[in-house]
Structure 1
């Protein structure tokens, strides 16, 4: 079973960025694609962060 799908979302990707606006708002961006996203969105270009890779490896062993 592929445990990776349990972690696959924009917030766990190396390209995910949070930008605080001067007006007090927050923008969630994909630096790779260049447009706004949401933390829970999923795209095929997902590249997990190092800590997420370690978690996936840990859960795949168990």
Structure 2
């Protein structure tokens, strides 16, 4: 895992991160695994949201351009 991916790798940026109602409160959860989670947790099954993938690609391109200079 590279630096950029490590920066974004957490549940809140995963496409499976969601919420469920419990006792009138929103409980964060992984909709794929069915586990309760928190936004800052990290799991190996991480699958970034499309906007996160685009942000990572943009950052990688910027880093590559800076290296060539």
TM over 0.5: yes
Q: Which runs of 5+ in 1 are unaligned?
A: none
Q: Of Structure 1 and Structure 2, which has the larger fraction of its residues in helix? A: 2
Q: Which runs of 4+ in 1 moved over 6 A?
A: none
Q: Whose RCO is larger (CA < 8 A, sep 6+)?
A: 1
After superposition, the CA RMSD in angstroms is 1.5
Matches within 5 A, 1:38-49: 38-49=38-49
TM-score in terms of structure 1 length: 0.88
How many aligned residue pairs are there? 61
- Name 1:58's counterpart in structure 2: 58
TM-score in terms of structure 2 length: 0.79
